Amino acid sequence: MMRRVRVELGERSYDVVVGRGASRELASLIPPDARRVALVTQDGIPVDVSRHVPERVALSRHVVGSGEEHKSLATVERLCGEFAAAGITRSDVVVAVGGGMVTDVAGYAASAWHRGVRVVHVSTSLVGMIDAAIGGKTGVNIAAGKNLVGAFWQPCGVVCDTAHLDSLPEREQRCGRGEMAKYHFLVGDDLLALDLDARIARCVQIKAEIVGQDERESGRRAVLNYGHTLGHALESASGFALAHGEAVAVGMMYAAHLAHALSRIDASRVAHHRDVIVAHYGLSVEVPRNVTRARLVDLMRRDKKAIDGLTFVLDGPSGIETVSGVSQAAVHSAFDALSVP
């Protein structure tokens, strides 16, 4: 069954196509006036969408390296140089094929080239399908932290072909489950009652509704960062030994302990977090032993949400919301709960 979820953003609205075989819909998402397609991907991604690109367009292929060190301004600069060589104009389109790293980098390069060319994302990972490829947030890492340089640049369409998940390595599956677990705390839906394709489509719908209300994260969209304040810090502090979704899983458990320390939620709600994250999704909530709380606090202070002291997205009586000016005592109480040195 093929599902289409609409991201409503006025004249920049677009469809997310979800289902097995959704790659066949790629041609319908490429703007009819495009003459060239710059296909950005990685070696090792076993997905060939070239047969789904209209014959009328000229196709060039551009490869992004694997590993977080390639999620960089240097990669964006190289891609833009290759776009120039391929003759990509503002009326053409970039097609990003891969996981969250590829869509983040390709999306940012598309936003910068000629001050903005159109982009279509073909997501091949679970975390990309339910999060990274949707909503227009693009970015790269710098020495100061993860995703600190980027732009809001909406795609003109997203393909989530769930057949690509069949060959996804177990670690990538865990990474996606970390992001999927997040949606359990954002809404009251029984997501576990749905099959995988329907659950992915529901996660896309939840994100689409939030992005439609707050495209540039000036308010409600920040709830999509649940677990990410500590999660991003853990990724950096561990030298990216923890994948994104694995770090977010730990971050959500930390956020639950922090909300409890602030008397925002009770012990049963903390237990519910552990049940969803650990029991249902099989994720770890252990912090690597070589990571210290001093390093994590330093990294969390640089978080993009940090306006008034340490800022977190936390559960509470009104649901998930942004909380600023969190006390050091509460921060350390939550670290104690996770046995962080």
The reply to whether 225 belongs to the active site is yes
N- to C-terminal Cα separation, the chain = 49
Give me the catalytic one of 202, 225, 257, 260. Answer: 225
Q: Of the residues 118, 174, 177, 221, which is catalytic?
A: 221
Q: Which of 11, 115, 170, 289 is catalytic?
A: 115
**Is 207 in the active site?**
yes
CB 58 within 8 A of CB 35: yes
Tokens of 52: 């789904």
Alpha-carbon distance of 161 to 2, in angstroms, equals: 9
Q: Out of 118, 164, 228, 273, which one is annotated catalytic?
A: 228
Task: Give bridge partners of residue 152 from the DSSP assignment.
Answer: 137
Catalytic annotation, pick one of 146, 182, 202, 207:
207
Cα–Cα distance measured from residue 93 to residue 75, given in angstroms and rounded to the nearest whole number? 18
Give me the catalytic one of 25, 82, 172, 217. 217
Which of 62, 182, 184, 232 is labelled catalytic? 232
| Cα–Cα distance, 253 to 14 (Å, whole number) | 34
Whether residue 305 lies in the annotated active site: no
**CA distance linking residue 46 with residue 121, whole number of Å:** 16
CB of 335 closer than 8 Å to CB of 326: no
Note the Cα 101 to chain centre separation in Å: 9
Active site residue 244: yes
Active site residue 82: no
Handedness of CA 70, 68, 44, 165 (dihedral sign): negative
Print the SS3 string covering 183-194.
HHHHCCCCHHHC
DSSP lists the bridge partners of residue 38 as 60, 94
Spot the catalytic one: 25, 179, 215, 235.
Answer: 179
Residue 228 is among the residues annotated as catalytic for this protein = yes
Catalytic residue among 36, 71, 244, 305: 244
CA distance 196 to 275: 19
Give the active site residue among 52, 62, 118, 137. Answer: 137
Q: Catalytic residue numbers?
A: 115, 137, 179, 207, 217, 221, 225, 228, 232, 244
